[in-house]
């Protein structure tokens, strides 16, 4: 917050300054009548809104009403008339079940879309067109990310804070600051217990993100009741040990002055992220307060009446908002407009003094990472290495070609920079400048061994301003199982990243079955709005990057499954055909009696197998790097590539066979976990040696030739079933 705006923050309610001056964060101070009316209004609305649909989460809203008032009325910088103002503070509700708190304060502070009628649709049937979902959703004004499952929001907020720091270090000048906002995150007990929340907290402490303020609504109650039964940590001590400033506030359901003092202090602290531990009473004013009963269920008609009577409202009336409540927030709009106007003047000066930086920033604000023909930077097929190499190494060629040139890319890994080939020339690491390891301008990120938070923070980067950042995140494919919940949230929110998933099958070798992903692809193939791409050689790797970075995928994340073992550059591969999802790489000129469809490192083995077959020479091999893209093609194209009504079709993939019955009559796939051995030995042990596969396929083809028909639905054959059983 700029000094001139900060100086005006509390000027609209002078009596509050007196309260703050005399208050301590440990005091129990009743709010003045005006503020008390606002808090009571919010509590009664929470009770009514949940009771209306006999569901929802009223307790946190009622207990944390004073925190919400402090944030939206006083502490945060935003413009209700322009929710997308770039230099606004970002607010993340990690405890997303408390969404009514956010919805109500968005309404009171002047966001036009958030009418009271809109909020009355909270928990409404889907056909109502309500914005007021059971957890805040990214597409609606004032909501920065869809947090959903607990803990995600903490790591999202860490990513937002990292993005803000990186932009500030890249574009701010000594005389002009165009990025100087704060990231606020509201959390509860659940988020602090979840692993992804703890991973994010650890990252933030290490990086010294002093633009991040984490507010803990410490009500000590979850759905199951008091957290003493499952959680006995000294959270403040733990956060301090993890490199955070810690501020504590007692009686946070009433002590508005203490909350304001604490948050003012939080904004002034430097060098570390700030944790504000505010003790509240869940379900404040309910007869069930301080119990799990007010956490995730409506209060019941009797208790709603009790609340209203206790707070001085008419129990016979619903959804009552006294005019003075709106009056109390009337300055939010002009204050926000003034803040944005001041920033606009700064940007005008910036454009004059630093035109090159201004032009690049404007381009990125528009969601573009370049105006160049970036595809020309990717080597043409004739310029790719002719010697066999792992597709993970081929991916490194694309990273080196693109990432150093364009500031929109950040690239990093969960402890595997060199193994996944996402390190790039001229790299500066994103680090706390005090560490001596890098600085905040860096675009190379070491996420540490925190796969879940890696993707959840990447979501924060991607959500900061759609298209401004394109995160590249990497780890072994098996550990994308750890990251999967955050990836699901990426796909749900339309947040683009490029995921590098190396060591993608049994070819990982000696690390053994714990590291060999057999079934994971089935989840990612079933996940909506994600590109799971398994390229078979360096040419297809270049095509994977072209797909991921195409404008049509601006709202779609991509995950590349890449080999550890070397694969040859195949004659028939063509990056331009990959957008079709599958295409012919061998035997294009034949009318096939047999079609082999394969992916990744098994495509070269499939071609070798095709050449060994004795049952038929009319065989084609199809590379299918993306089932999703193939499914999107017209029926005529799909039938021309995989003619299942005219030709036998067999799939070859060293993953589980689940899903292949949609495309083939049989498969050679994995049916057990792997072993610890070199890759070539494993491919032979599990039946993927071309000579063995040719024998199996020949016998299968002869069976159906003898039957004089093609297999019907339900006659799918597993040709390697029983191989290499433990």
The response to whether 396 counts as a known ligand-binding position is no
For tokens 């790489």, name the residue: 585
What gap in Å lies between CA 582 and CA 291, rounded to an integer? Answer: 56
The response to whether 97 counts as a known ligand-binding position is yes
Query: Tokens for 616?
Result: 């038929």
The secondary structure of the chain in percent helix, strand, coil, rounded to multiples of 5, reads: 45, 15, 40
Bridge partners, 247 (sequence order): 276
The response to whether 511 counts as a known ligand-binding position is yes
Could you tell me which residues come within 8 angstroms of residue 35 by beta carbon, excluding any fewer than 6 positions away?
A: 16, 69, 256, 328
What gap in Å lies between CA 562 and CA 599, rounded to an integer? Answer: 11
The response to whether 564 counts as a known ligand-binding position is yes
The response to whether 10 counts as a known ligand-binding position is no
- Helix 451-464 vs helix 195-207: crossing angle, to nearest 10: 70
What gap in Å lies between CA 236 and CA 250, rounded to an integer? Answer: 13
The response to whether 702 counts as a known ligand-binding position is no
Could you tell me which residues come within 8 angstroms of residue 152 by beta carbon, excluding any fewer than 6 positions away?
A: 94, 145, 196, 456, 459, 485, 486, 489
The response to whether 629 counts as a known ligand-binding position is no
The response to whether 149 counts as a known ligand-binding position is yes
Helix-then-strand count for the chain, H and E: 27, 19
The response to whether 217 counts as a known ligand-binding position is no
Q: Would you say the C-alpha torsion 85, 88, 94, 96 has a positive or negative sign?
A: negative
Bridge partners, 445 (sequence order): 412
Query: Tokens for 425?
Result: 């020339």
The response to whether 221 counts as a known ligand-binding position is yes
The response to whether 419 counts as a known ligand-binding position is yes
CA 377 distance to own-chain centroid: 28
DSSP per position, 351-404: HHH-HHHHHHHHHHHTT-S-SS-GGGGSPPGGGS--S-B-HHHHHHHHHHHHTT
What gap in Å lies between CA 75 and CA 85, rounded to an integer? Answer: 17
Active-site residue set? 451
Query: Tokens for 397?
Result: 């060629």
CB 477 within 8 A of CB 517: yes
The response to whether 671 counts as a known ligand-binding position is no
Spell 152-171 as b/e; 16+ CB within 10 A means b.
bbbbbbbbbbbbbbbbbbbb
Could you tell me which residues come within 8 angstroms of residue 719 by beta carbon, excluding any fewer than 6 positions away?
A: 650, 666, 667, 668, 693, 696, 697, 700
For tokens 């002869």, name the residue: 702
- Helix 99-109 vs helix 33-52: crossing angle, to nearest 10: 130
The response to whether 195 counts as a known ligand-binding position is no
For residue 221, give the H/E element and its range. strand 221-222
For tokens 């957290």, name the residue: 227
Instruction: For residue 648, give the nearest of 720, 716, 584 by alpha carbon.
Output: 716
Binding site: residue ranges?
57, 97, 148-150, 189-190, 219, 221, 295, 392, 419, 479, 503, 511, 515, 564
Binding site for thiamine diphosphate: residue ranges?
97, 148-150, 190, 219, 295, 479
Binding site for substrate: residue ranges?
57, 295, 392, 419, 503, 511, 515, 564
Binding site for Mg(2+): residue ranges?
189, 219, 221
């Amino acid at each position: 917050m700029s000094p001139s705006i900060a100086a005006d923050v509390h000027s609209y309610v002078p009596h509050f300054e007196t309260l703050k001056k005399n208050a301590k964060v440990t005091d129990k101070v009743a709010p003045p009548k005006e503020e008390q009316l606002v808090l009571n209004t919010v509590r009664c609305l929470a009770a009514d809104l949940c009771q209306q649909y006999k569901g929802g989460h009223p307790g946190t809203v009622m207990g944390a009403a004073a925190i919400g008032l402090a944030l939206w009325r006083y502490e945060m910088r935003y413009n209700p008339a322009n929710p997308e103002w770039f230099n606004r503070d970002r607010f993340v509700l990690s405890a997303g079940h408390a969404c009514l708190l956010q919805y109500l304060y968005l309404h009171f502070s002047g966001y036009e879309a958030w009418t009271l009628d809109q909020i009355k649709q909270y928990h409404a049937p889907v056909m109502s067109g309500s914005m007021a979902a059971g957890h805040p959703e990214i597409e609606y004004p004032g909501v920065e990310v869809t947090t959903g499952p607990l803990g995600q929001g903490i790591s999202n907020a860490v990513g937002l804070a990292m993005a803000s720091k990186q932009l500030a270090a890249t574009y701010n000048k000594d005389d002009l600051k165009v990025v100087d906002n704060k990231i606020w995150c509201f959390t509860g007990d659940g988020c602090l217990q979840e692993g992804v929340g703890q991973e994010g907290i650890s990252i933030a402490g290490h990086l010294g993100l002093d633009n991040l303020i984490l507010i803990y609504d410490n009500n000590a109650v979850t759905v199951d009741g008091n957290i003493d039964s499952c959680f006995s940590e000294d959270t403040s001590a733990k956060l301090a040990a993890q490199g955070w400033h810690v501020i504590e506030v007692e009686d946070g359901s009433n002590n508005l002055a203490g909350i304001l003092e604490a948050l003012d202090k939080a904004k002034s602290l430097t060098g570390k992220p700030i944790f504000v531990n505010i003790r509240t009473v869940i379900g404040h004013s309910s007869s069930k307060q301080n119990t799990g009963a007010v956490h995730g269920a409506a209060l019941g008609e009797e208790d709603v009446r009790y609340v209203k009577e206790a707070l001085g409202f008419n129990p016979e009336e619903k959804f009552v908002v006294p005019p003075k409540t709106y009056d109390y927030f009337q300055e939010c709009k002009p204050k926000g407009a003034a803040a944005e106007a001041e920033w606009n003047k700064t940007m005008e000066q910036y454009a004059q003094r630093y035109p090159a930086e201004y032009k690049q920033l404007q381009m990125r604000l528009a969601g573009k990472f370049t105006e160049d023909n970036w595809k020309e930077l990717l080597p043409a097929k004739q310029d790719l290495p002719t010697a066999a190499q792992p597709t993970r190494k081929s991916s490194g060629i694309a990273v080196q070609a693109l990432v150093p040139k364009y500031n929109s890319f950040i690239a990093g890994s969960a402890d595997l920079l060199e193994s996944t080939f996402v390190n790039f020339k001229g790299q500066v690491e994103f680090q706390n400048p005090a560490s001596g390891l890098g600085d905040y301008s860096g675009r190379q990120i070491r996420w540490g061994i925190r796969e879940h938070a890696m993707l959840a923070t990447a979501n924060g980067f991607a959500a900061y301003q759609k298209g401004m950042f394109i995160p590249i995140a990497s780890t072994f494919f098996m550990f994308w199982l750890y990251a999967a919940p955050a990836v699901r949230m990426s796909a749900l929110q339309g947040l683009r990243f490029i995921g590098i998933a190396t060591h993608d099958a049994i070819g990982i070798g000696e690390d053994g079955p714990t590291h060999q992903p057999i079934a994971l692809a089935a989840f990612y193939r079933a996940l909506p709005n994600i590109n799971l791409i398994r390229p078979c050689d360096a040419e297809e790797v270049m095509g994977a990057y072209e797909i991921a970075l195409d404008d049509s995928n601006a709202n779609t994340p991509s995950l590349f499954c890449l080999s550890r073992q070397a694969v040859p550059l195949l004659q028939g591969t063509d990056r331009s055909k990959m957008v079709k999802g599958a295409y012919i790489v061998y035997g294009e000129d034949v009318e096939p009696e047999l079609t082999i469809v394969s992916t990744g490192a098994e495509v070269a083995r499939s071609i070798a197998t095709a050449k060994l077959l004795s049952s038929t020479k009319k065989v084609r091999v199809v590379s299918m790097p993306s089932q999703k893209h193939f499914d999107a093609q017209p029926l005529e194209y799909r039938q021309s590539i995989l003619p299942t009504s005219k030709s036998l079709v067999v799939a070859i993939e060293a993953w589980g066979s689940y899903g292949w019955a949609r495309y083939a009559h049989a498969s050679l796939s994995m049916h057990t976990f792997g072993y610890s051995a070199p890759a070539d030995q494993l491919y032979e042990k599990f039946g993927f040696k071309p000579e063995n596969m040719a024998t199996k396929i020949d016998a299968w083809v002869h069976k159906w030739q003898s039957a004089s028909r093609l297999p019907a639905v339900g006659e799918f054959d597993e040709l390697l079933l029983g191989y290499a059983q433990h």
